Each structure stands twice: as structure tokens, then as C-alpha cells.
Structure 1
Amino acid sequence: MTTSTTTTVTPQEGVRLTRYARGGGCACKIPPGELEEVVAGLTGRTSRTRPAGELLVGLDSGDDAAVVRLPRGTGGRDGTGGRAVVVTADFFAPVVDDPYDWGRIAAANALSDVYAMGGTPLVAANLLAWPRGALPLDLAREVLRGGLDVADEAGCHVAGGHSVDDPEPKYGMAVTGTADPERLLRNDTGRPGTPLSLTKPLGLGVLNTRHKATGEVFPEAVRTMVALNRDAAASALAAGAVCATDVTGFGLLGHLYKLARASRVTAVVDASAVPFLDGAHEAVRDGHVSGGTRRNLAWVAPYTDFGGTGEPARLLLADAQTSGGLLVAGEVPGAPVIGELVPAGAHRLVVR
């Protein structure tokens, strides 16, 4: 591990927020296989009256956010319903000890779902769970301040929200945005022959797990998590991309599997081309791997040809990311190409 990229700090008021979290950021998601069992039979359903317009993206493909085309006469310059509403919600327990950074990370992560659909965030509502008898409310204010600052950077209003008294602190946002319904980024529109680009390096999960265990702080990881996916989404759209997803709790392989399955293609990953944060390989070597990452790997393994790829590399490719980058079917300026989509074969994923 590169020592220049880490520091050890004393958290505000001596409080280590991650000690109050059973999971770690997006690694605390319900495992993907279990979640799919829960929502089985609930997909493909829309309102019988459809007062709010046509549902363009729902539960069917497990995409990043819901998208509804506005009814005729309520959107678009020509009054023909040329706009769509993008809706999402995301929250999680502390992934870092600094409350302000946690707020920034959680907000960037929630906003990312809108960017991953090709949309622009418009307004967000805070979602806060706080153990008011165990943690000072001043820390909660810092969390909210961090979220507000990132929303300001995104040009997104923050208007109220909801809070509950909870033994485990949690924070995130419900976000509403807008998009051009004819220029969405979806996970079911991938086509063979398309390269795969990744806009942020991997390793956030294992570094956050190390941070929780040791108190080490990884500034590069924090900078990566608070960075908005706004510019990456704009670049993808400008390049003509129509297929993308963001890489969060299910890891690169989990989200890529969902994309390949929804698009009915096979995804080939060049493991040597995937970028990683400094210290990520050392964190895996030292055993800082979350249960969420191991569950991700177990979920995709039956559908993946790993060839000679060893377990450390497999774990990093399945590492549960928090506020990760966009995975785009297409070339994005400045982002490495890590593989390609090919016609469907014996496996949905191939790692070479």
C-alpha cells in the first residue's frame, strides 16, 4: 500500500461513525439474488389509469432509476410530452467516519442514479435515520451539510425530507430529475460490438472496509466517491451512447451481469485494463473484504467464465462500490475501455 495516500485521523468529537454501521456503504444492500426473489412477480406492472404518463423504465430490467414520460401537453417545447421524469432513492449507513464526507458521498451516490439514466437532477429530499440518544445531533447537521453542498454542486434543489430515530445512522436522498425520453441511458440497450468504458477506478469497497477496521483514511477514495457522475454522463450522451449503468453495491461484475442479461448479450472484461485505486490490492491481500463483495461474487460466478483469473482479482471485480463510476457501452473520452459486448454465448460474463 502506498503510504502517501493514507492518513490516520481523530474523528470529530472522538466519534467513529462506522462503528455504528453493521454494513459498509452500498455493501449493506440486500444481496442481489435475494432481492430478485423479493421483487419476482412485481415487475411489468403499471398504473391502470396511468395519470402520470407512460412508464418507460420500471422494475423489469433492474435499472438504476424509474423513468416516466410526461403526458402529452405537459412537457417539451412543442407540447408533445418531450420530457421524462427520473425518480430514485438511495441511502446507507456510514461508510467513513467523517460526517461531512459521509453526507457528500451519500448525496453523490443518490444523484448518480439520475446521471446513469442520462438525466439531470432537479430536486432531492433528505432521508435521515439517527440514533439521537447515542450520537450528537451536531454530527447529523454535518451529514446534512455535506449532502447539501454536493447537491448545490449538481445544481439540484434540496427541499426537506424525512427523518426517524434509529439505532443505526443512515443517510441518503430521494432524487427527482428530468431527461429526454429519446436519449436515455438504459441497461437493456447494449449491442454486440460495443466497447465498455469505466469512468471511475474500482477498490472503494475494500478501502472502506479497511477504513472501518483500522481508522486509516484514504483521501483518493473519498475524492472518488464525492465526484459527481454528471460530466461522465454528458460525455456518454455526446458520444452517442444509449446503454449504461452505475457501479455501486453489486460491484462491477454484478452490474455488468445485469446489463448483459437485460441486453441479451455477453460481456467480455479485460481484467488487466480495469483501473484500481492505490491500496486496493493490498486491502484484499490483508483480508479487508466485505460480506457484500463475497455475496456479489457468489451471485455472478455461475454465469461467468473466469478462465485463469485468481480469487483476489475476482474479489476486486466484484467489490461492492459506494458512489462508483459509470459503466458505459461506448467509448467515453478520458475513460479506459475495459472490455466489450459480444453476441450471447455460453456465459453472460467472460473475464480474461
Structure 2
Amino acid sequence: MKMKNSRRIGIILPSEKYEKLSKKPDPDIKKMVSLYEKAAMKHNSSLCFFRIHDLKRGKKVIKGFVKANQGYKLRKVPIPPVIYKRIGHSRHDLPLLQSLRGEGKILFNFYKNNHKYNMWKIVKLNKFLAKHQPDTKMANKRTVREMLKKYKSLMIKPNRGEVGRGIMKIQQKASGKWCLYYKNNNKWKKKYFKNKLPKLLLNRIKKPHLVQETIDLAAYHGKPFDLRVSVQKNQLRKWQVSAIFVKVAKDGQFLTNMGQGATAYTLQQILKSHPSLTLEKIEKKIKTFAIKLAKHIASHKKNMADFGFDIGVSKQGIPYLIEVNHISDYPAFSIKNGKLLNREWKKVFTTPIDYACSFLS
């Protein structure tokens, strides 16, 4: 039976994931879309997968992948009435996305600015949440020097960036000297200095960067960890915590990004034998904190349906917001060789479809 377009949801994928749906699908992408499809079938709905640049202003149809008897086939279909965006966008895409909304399409995860410092300022507007952010400034020669006087360890990160690329760290050593940790040709390097800031650092912060105090993260077997907390709108159009992924840094490293070699665990795996942090207390604290964050940020960004918060937990069990991800790459955490690594992570794929289906006629 042919599915009516009024019951179809559009999913905008990154190009690399879209390409893996053609020919012989990548097993991890195949698993991801099968979870989406099963959720849609539950609501008597179907899906169409396409890229952001497949959309053309004024066009009523789109070429995208739809489920066929065997795998996924490219088909021309009317642009779906509800579109769930699973990719970031640039300012050049804004007129196109705005035109879709002007035509009456419902578009989720549409925003105008996801710069890290802008997010920090939004969160700072809430007195409670502001206490759970690291001290942060836009990086320049003056602000870096000011922060070095206040803290013994700092993080320098691009104002826009993903998977930990371009992040540097400055740490004071016992000798009183400072050490700048940075990556060059994918290898970590060190540069020591005392008073004069390294030229390499000054050159990098000519482009917009943040300078932040370093949160003394809790550790797992001596390796720092933080949490990716998925907060999504559900079928009742309420915010819920769909999953918590724990990202544990590689041996000898301080970055917990999956793209930098971190490993994903469940919170239960990490805290079951932790000497000072108990699962029940931390889980409740994190969920309450994450929901407050989502509600507050969504009051400033009306079209968001999905946040991936990077939340650090101090050694005293205090949660700190490290970063707000508008688009979270959940397959990187939860799927390997075509299999879901943990059943409790399934919700990050089914909840968006449940929410989107609540808008279908």
C-alpha cells in the first residue's frame, strides 16, 4: 500500500551518511535508519532521507531515499510536511530553510546561531544555570593573560567547531612554567613558556576562540570523562532525557570527544564501582540539570527538538555544562558493526520520530 505524503517525514542527513544509503548501505547507517523506520511504522508513517542541498527554493518535490522492497531507492516525492534536520547548517542555508517554513512546512532544529560563546551567554541569563558553567571569555592576548592569573589550567577552543578539533590546553607546572598542549599533524605537541605567550597560540586566536577555566573532571580508571546527555522532545511534546552516554578519554589524553578516540560507556558501567559518586544521585542530578538547560535554551531558540549537552561532572559530583550541541551524532556513540551497543540508547533514534509524528495530519 502506497503511503500518503501527508504521513511522510523528511529526515535531512549529512552527505556522508546519505551516500552510505546508496548501493550497499553501511551497516551502522542501515541500523540507524531501521530504528527510524520502525518508529515511523508504529505511527503508520514513512520516511524520506535527503540532503540539505537537495532542497530547492520554489520546488514542490524532492529526490530522496525511501524504503523499497529491498533497501532504499531514490524517488521523487513531494516535500514532506514535517522535516527533522539531523545536520548543522550555515548562514547561507538560512534563506532556504526560512522559505520552507514560509510554505507551511514544519522544520525542527532550525537555528540562527550556534556559536559557543553565544550559547554561553544565553545560559548565563539563568542564575541557577550560570553557576554550572566554566568561566569563559572570548580569547585574545589580554583575556588569556587575565585568565592565567585566575586559574592554573585553561582550555582554548574554536568558537565554532566539532569533535574537539583545534582545542588546546594551558597548564601550570610545578616549576611555575606554563605548558601549551596543541595538535600538529594529528600529534600532540607541548610548548613551554613563562611570561610571553607563544606565537603559535596568538596566531590561532586571531580567529574566534574561547578561553575557559578547566573543570577538574571526575575520572574512570584515571581517565577523565564527561557525559553526552540527549534531551529530546517526545510524542507529548515535552522535553525528556532519552539517553546518557559517558565519554572516557584515551589513556594520557584530556579530550573526551569521540572524534579524538574517546570510548562510550553507560553511566551505570562508570559509576558502579566509583569511590565517591553514586549512580542514583548523579543520574537524578544530571537529568534535572539537563531538562532545565533544554527548557531555558529552547525559550530563546523556538524550533529546537533535540539537544546533545556535553556535561562534565566534577570530583565533588557537581555538573558543569561544557558545550551545547544542536545536532548530536548518536550513531558514533551507540552503534558498532550494525548493532546497538546498549538497549537504553535506542530512544535517541525513536523519540524524534515519535515527536515528528505528533504533527502529522
- TM surpasses 0.5: no
Indicate the structure whose relative CO is greater, using CA pairs within 8 Å and at least 6 residues apart. Answer: 1
- Which structure carries more strand by proportion? 2
- Output the TM-score relative to the length of structure 1: 0.26
* Greater C-alpha Rg: 2
So what's the TM-score if we normalise by structure 2? Answer: 0.25
